[in-house]
Amino acid sequence: MSRILVTGGSGLVGKAIKHVVETEPEGSPFAKRAGEEWIFASSSEADLRDPVATEALFDKYKPTHVIHLAALVGGLFKNMKYKLTFLRDNSLINDNVLRSSYTHQTSKVISCLSTCVFPDKVEYPLNEEKIHIGPPHDSNFGYAHAKRMVDVMNHAYKEEFGCNFTSAIPTNVFGPYDNFDLEDSHVIPGLIHKCVLAKKNGTPFVVAGTGKPLRQFIYSYDLAKLFIWMLRNYDDVEPVILSVGEDEEVSIKQVADAIVKAVGFEGNYSFDTTRADGQFRKPASNAKLLGLVGKFEFTPFDQALDETVKWFVTNYDNART
């Protein structure tokens, strides 16, 4: 019998894991197994910044495994404005979750880092060895340092107490249940929302920047499967980057084109080249992942985007906007 507690179970990635666990057909390596109980916790059940609430959550469920996704997450503006809050809240959440996992003798914890935590000045592609070799970008140093410390704590828990704690490092995630807020969201959900509104209001769809920067995007349902794979197959403290390959980078223009097509937008569509582009590329290597998992079929980008747009349009009234 295993009881898997997913913290951050109400967010983009948590909902994707729930979806995969509930919908994968029997026989799939990602399907729910007999004897497994999955618990998806949100902040309303326990504020994980609070050690007492965290202990109470662990007392209630007595998880054998934890997928730890809960975090204060935000776009660039929020990260820049609230650096101490990002540092403190995420440090408290991570410390409490790992501590309670240890005191409750949880047999495995996979925590979630992000490729945003890598050093600012680094040789690309990013890989699992480069997390700590230089300071993170100034814009998100609160979030980045709190997340980096998870890797440090995982090693310390292993060395002092022999715990089986590890971490996953996803690249940019998108999919159903994302945060589609116009001001404070990641690029894909923000552009989807903008394009849907432009279609509805008969206004132009304007994308900030030249559209040339390249990024690796992973569909939340693919990421969910990789978390489930890690849960069942990976028992090493060192992190694993969960991403599509470097050869699957897409430009912001490709993203915007795919959104225009999926939304069915036929109005005026342009790029505001007076707006900043951000970094041109920051590729991450998925060589370690592929070496471990063997073959993994990522959902084609256009299909994943089309599914996300359809989900947003259908769930517009309840989506996080």
**Shortest distance, CB of residue 289 to ligand NDP, whole angstroms?**
14
What are the DSSP calls for 85-141, one per residue?
HHHHHHHHHHHHHHHHHHHTT-SEEEEE--GGGSBSS-PSSB-GGGTTSSPBPGGGH
**Shortest distance, CB of residue 162 to ligand NDP, whole angstroms?**
25
Residue pair 286/239 in contact (Cβ under 8 Å)? The answer is: no
The total of other beta-carbon atoms located within 10 Å of residue 66's CB is 28
Instruction: Give the residue among 278, 284, 231 at the shortest CA–CA distance from 33.
Output: 231
Catalytic residue among 82, 102, 124, 143: 143
The total of other beta-carbon atoms located within 10 Å of residue 222's CB is 22
Residue pair 308/175 in contact (Cβ under 8 Å)? The answer is: yes
Calculate the CA 193 to chain-centre distance.
19
In the complex, which residue's CB is closest to ligand NDP? 11
**Shortest distance, CB of residue 71 to ligand NDP, whole angstroms?**
3
C-beta of 187 vs 263, nearer to ligand NDP: 187
C-beta of 73 vs 259, nearer to ligand NDP: 73
| CA pair distance 30, 24, nearest whole angstrom | 6
Angle at 179 between CA 306 and CA 221, to 5 degrees: 50
C-beta of 48 vs 293, nearer to ligand NDP: 48
Calculate the CA 233 to chain-centre distance.
20
Classified as helix, coil or strand, 215 is strand
C-beta of 198 vs 218, nearer to ligand NDP: 218
**Shortest distance, CB of residue 259 to ligand NDP, whole angstroms?**
16
Amino acid at 84: L
Phi, psi of 240 (to 5 degrees): -130, 130
**Burial state string for 105-114 with b = 16 or more CB within 10 A and e = fewer than 16:** ebebbbbbbb
Residues that bind ligand NDP (CB under 6 A): 8-14, 42-44, 47-49, 69-73, 93, 112, 114, 170, 172-173, 179, 186
C-beta of 88 vs 199, nearer to ligand NDP: 88
C-beta of 179 vs 198, nearer to ligand NDP: 179
Q: Which two tokens stand for residue 150?
A: 């998870």
**Shortest distance, CB of residue 73 to ligand NDP, whole angstroms?**
4
**Shortest distance, CB of residue 2 to ligand NDP, whole angstroms?**
21
Is 143 tagged catalytic?
yes
Q: Indicate which residues carry an active-site annotation.
A: 143
